Structure formats: C-alpha cells, structure tokens
Amino acid sequence: MGLFIIFAFSVMSIFWTMVLRDIDPETFWGKIADYSVSFDNRFYDFRMKALLDPKFVSKDIAIVNIDDYSLQKIGTWPIPRTVHAKVLRKLKHFGVKVVGMDIMFPEKAPVCGGSSPDDVFAEALRD
C-alpha cells in the first residue's frame, strides 16, 4: 500500500509540474504545483540518502570548485574564458575523460586584440 501511495503522489507531482509550470506561483494552483515539486525533491533526497553508502567514495571522481582563494589568485570576475580553456586543457593532459561544468556565460566575452576568448574556450571544449 505504501508503494502505491508513493507512486501515485509521484505521478501527481509530475502531472501538476507539467500542467501548472506556467502558472503564477502566488496563485492557489501555483502553490499546489510548488508544493508537489518541493515534496518530490525532498523525497528524492530521502531516497538517495537511504540508498547510497556514505562510506563509499570513488577515487575516480574529483570536484574542481571556484572558491574565494581562486578568485583572489585570478583577480577578476567573471573568470576569463581563456582561464577555463587552460583548465580544460590541463585536465585533458592529466587523462580526464569527462568534465561537467556548472557555469553560466550569459554574454559574449570582450575581445582585445587577438582571438576571441569565446573561440579559445569553444576550441578547448571541442578538444
């Protein structure tokens, strides 16, 4: 019975999310959709904590983070795309097979003289 309730609520959450995604979140229906998505996210977190072994740590995965120290060393924000390109090339040199990036580049990088930083970064992504 418990599994049926979980399944039914998951289906309802998906339905409400798809149907009401363009509704203003301040309205009644928007709050219903918001609640179902929030509940689904919490349930997903609960499942992952219950299923994954916290003692298991893969030595094949590394997370590279942009922290305050890195920003001080680089000295500018946003970090130039040429710096991202250098990091990608170094990772490739060290044998990294897959890279995931969670960074937004909402506008073109300014070009001063030589080649475009966007082109340099795009080339590094292709390599």
What's the pLDDT tens digit per position in 114-124? 778 888 888 88
User: Between 21 and 42, whose confidence is greater?
Assistant: 42
Query: Which of these, 113, 49, 46, 109, lies nearest to 79 by C-alpha position?
Result: 109
Residue 27 DSSP one-character state: S
Residue 32 lies in a domain: yes
Domains in the chain: how many in total? 2
Question: Residue 90: is its pLDDT beyond 90?
Answer: yes
Question: Residue 33: is its pLDDT beyond 90?
Answer: no
Region at 113 (left for phi over 0; alpha for psi -120 to 50; beta for the rest):
left
47 plus 84 within the same structural domain: no
Residue 63 lies in a domain: no
The two counts, helices (H) then strands (E), for the chain are: 5, 0
31 plus 75 within the same structural domain: no
Q: What is the pLDDT of residues 59-86, one digit of tens each?
A: 888 888 888 998 898 888 888 888 889 9
Question: Residue 53: is its pLDDT beyond 90?
Answer: no
117 plus 86 within the same structural domain: yes
Q: What number of CA atoms fall less than 13 Å from residue 17's CA on the CB side?
A: 13
Range of the domain at 96: 68-126
pTM over cut 0.85: no
Distance in angstroms (rounded) separating the CA atoms of residues 6 and 2: 6
37 plus 74 within the same structural domain: no
